[in-house]
Amino acid sequence: MPAEVEGGAVPASSRGSWTTFLKSIASFNGDLASLTAPAFILSSQSLVEFSAYWTENQELWIAPTKEPDPAKRALLVVRWLINTLHQQYCSRSEKFGNEKKPLNPFLGELFLGYWEEGNLGRTELVSEQVSHHPPVTAYCITNEKNRIQLQGYNGQKASFSRTIHIKQIGHSLLTLYPPGSNEPESYLITLPALHIENLIYGAPFVECGKYTHVVSSSGYTAKIDYSGKGWLSGKKNSFTAALWKEGEGSEKKPLYSLDGQWSDMFTIKEGDGGKRSKDVETVKTSAVRLSKLNVPPIEEQDVMESRKAWGHVARSIEKGDMDATSAFKSRIENAQRALRKREQDENRTWKRVFFSQPDDEAGSVKSGDPLERRFNHLAKVATAGQPITSAWEGVAPEKTNGIWRYDEEKGKKAQRPFHSDGLEALGETEGNGSAAVSRTTTTQSQGQQPIVSGQ
């Protein structure tokens, strides 16, 4: 069957279940976790792993730390970010449009790893599911050698109108030190809206919508505007972007303009990108060198670490055994429900291993910390001077169960086993222990150290 007819890209044996799935999403409640998708569209990877996509392009991520000129440095940040979109939103489905439904992380799920590249040094990744209702993932990625850190958190709110639309709630904060400086520079990065394209044909891919703001404490601001393929014209994953200095330029009078496809090629030009603008660089995002993330071997992982915890489920999905998939998933879900009930009865809450909310007494993050002060300033620029109310989805605490920050004190203390009741949290007992997923690699990584204390 040609791919352009309804369900045309779906294996013949699954077309019925695809039609049923399409009907069910027309009335779903906005909670992505509640979508029951057919077996062939299930991924064995949990969303908690997606945090790694931010900096698989290690060289591009670290490049701004070597650039003394603040405008060029801000441009390098934007160049890294646009390349990151390729990893985040299409690296899983580039060829055939087969974006799958990831596993929904359970509260406390962890994904830890590191990249280590010759002279780039070691970059540690910590990703933790900090909230289940609503689902929120927090992450922190640090390279101490180059004094750069990216941290953030995100949740998703979905709705249906002709296709699945996803609002991303949360933000990311990049902090680095310009060469030779001890003054940190931060960049607030807002998250784009998303929608799923090609759903009807059974070959889904992600398209970005609306815009992303990048606001720097050095005074530079960038806006990336997304567009996609329309009925008659346009190319998928298209964008235009402008970078300017607040008070000296504007979106219409930028220092640099960028345009192209974030999944393919884009061009950086000086000025407004008009005919007389000089090309600075053309970048092919799919050709960018990616670094390999090292994840501890399964036998060294804690029970709450993603690939260990989902081992049975992942293998059942890979084998196409739906009964086993549901049974193993239910075991985790039931154990989680029982644990939440017990916590409620005992008037206690789940302890997050690496992240805290500002001023939470169980953590060391304070709303007066320098990073929080820089964040508040940048958020005001991003919201055009409006007070940062909960209406702004870059922060909306009631939709993400709070604001989440990497807690350096917790990070220093964190070590396996991360929770005394980890086995119970997953419904694991002697004899039904967890199993490995095949995607394993090298040695152990620990909690992160601060790149510079007090930032």
Site of interaction with ligand HC3 (CB under 6 A): 32, 37, 41, 47, 50, 88-89, 99-102, 154, 156, 164, 166, 168, 194, 196, 199, 204, 206
Residue at token pair 């789940």: 350
Question: What are residue 379's phi and psi, to 5 degrees?
Answer: -65, -35
CB-count burial class (<10 Å; 0-12, 13-18, 19+) for 156: buried
37 or 280, CB closer to ligand HC3? Answer: 37
Minimum Å gap between C-beta 248 and ligand HC3 is 32
Minimum Å gap between C-beta 186 and ligand HC3 is 19
47 or 82, CB closer to ligand HC3? Answer: 47
Residues 6+ positions from 241 with CB-CB distance below 8 Å:
78, 82, 222, 223, 224, 225, 257, 258, 259
Minimum Å gap between C-beta 166 and ligand HC3 is 5
Minimum Å gap between C-beta 316 and ligand HC3 is 18
Q: What whole-number distance in Å separates Cα of residue 451 and Cα of residue 145?
A: 8
Nearest to 203 by CA among 24, 9, 6: 9
Minimum Å gap between C-beta 151 and ligand HC3 is 13
Q: What whole-number distance in Å separates Cα of residue 372 and Cα of residue 378?
A: 10
Q: What whole-number distance in Å separates Cα of residue 98 and Cα of residue 111?
A: 24
193 or 436, CB closer to ligand HC3? Answer: 193
Helices (H), 346-432: 370-382, 397-400, 408-413, 422-425
Minimum Å gap between C-beta 5 and ligand HC3 is 18
Q: Is the dihedral of CA 437, 441, 444, 449 positive or negative?
A: negative
Tokens of 314: 């992942």
Q: Where are the beta strands (DSSP E) in 248-338?
A: 256-261, 265-270, 279-284
136 or 255, CB closer to ligand HC3? Answer: 136
Minimum Å gap between C-beta 353 and ligand HC3 is 20
Q: What whole-number distance in Å separates Cα of residue 58 and Cα of residue 118?
A: 11
89 or 256, CB closer to ligand HC3? Answer: 89
Residues 6+ positions from 323 with CB-CB distance below 8 Å:
none
Tokens of 287: 């050709």
Minimum Å gap between C-beta 50 and ligand HC3 is 4
The count of other CB atoms within 10 Å of the CB of residue 388 is: 16
236 or 366, CB closer to ligand HC3? Answer: 236
83 or 168, CB closer to ligand HC3? Answer: 168
172 or 434, CB closer to ligand HC3? Answer: 172
